[in-house]
Structure 1
Amino acid sequence: MAQLFTSIALDPAVRGRLIATLSGLHAERPLSAADPRDAVGRLQGALDALGLDAVRIRGAVGHAGVEVDHVWLAVRSGPGGPWVLDAAFPLHQPTFLAALSGYVAGTTTREELDAIARRSRIEDRVIGELPARTTYRGRPYWGTSAN
C-alpha cells in the first residue's frame, strides 16, 4: 500500500545544508523537471555524504486536484521521518504549479515545464515542507541499486 507523506519543518541547519547541496548540484547541471529520476540519482550520493539515509519513492504528486506520476526521495534520517525531498519539482513556485496543471491538461509542454524548473530557486523545491493542498503518495522503488 502507498504511503501518504506529510509536511515537516526541518531544523534550519539541516535545511541550510540541503539547500547548499542542491544549489551545488543545480549549478553543475540544472535539476530537471523533465527527468526527475536523474535528479534523484544525483542527489542520492550527496545525501550519503551528509549522513542522511534516503529511499527512492515512486508514486503521485497531487496539487489542488491535479495529479502526476513522479519519483522523489523520502529521507529516513532524523526525527519526524520519512520526509519528502523533491529536487525536480519547485512546487513552492506558483508559476510552476500553474504550468504543472497545464502539463497534465496537455496545454503546457514538458520542455516549458522544465524551463520553469531550471530557472527556479532551489528554495522553491520541496525540502520537507509541502505546499498547501499538496500530497505525495507512493512507495519505495526497489528496482534500482540506489535505495
Structure 2
Amino acid sequence: MTTTKTTTTKDEREDLSYFTLTLQSFLNESFPELANDKTFIEERSELAAQTYADALLAGHTHPEASELSNEVLYEGLHFSKFDMLFKVICNEFDSQMPDDELRPFAMKMYPLCTDVFSKYSTNEPEFADSADYELLYTELTGTVAIHIEENGLW
C-alpha cells in the first residue's frame, strides 16, 4: 500500500486562516463591495494575525489579543451601507416579496443606490445616530419605491 504525503503550502494555510475566513464572511454579509478585494482581505487578515501574535508575546490573554486583533480586522468598517439598504427593504417592502427574495433584491438594488449614499458621510462611526441617518433612510426608501414602480415589479 502506498501512501501519498500531502503538503500544505503557505498560501493554502493563509487562505484558511481564521482571520481571512472571518473577514471574508463579514464582508460577504455586510460589505459586498469589498468581498472580492483579495488584496484588502489578505493585508487586513495578515495584520490582524500579527496583532494577535504580538499581543500574546506582550503578555496579553487570548481574549485580550482577540479583541486587539478584531479592532485591526474591522477597522473602518463601522457602518454598512448594504446593511442599511437591506434594513430599509426588510422594514418597508417585506410585505411585497417573500423573505427569501429580500436579500437578493437588496443585492440588485445596492449598485443603484450609490448616488444616494454618496450624498452622506457614512464613514463616521456616529453616523447611525445622526439626523442624516434618518434622511438617508427616507431617501433610500423613495429610491427603492421608485425603482419598483418604474420597473413594474409589483
Q: How does the TM-score come out when normalised to structure 2?
A: 0.28
| Structure with greater helix percent | 2
The structure with the larger Rg is: 2
Q: Which has the higher contact order (CA 8 A, sep 6+)?
A: 1
| Structure with greater strand percent | 1
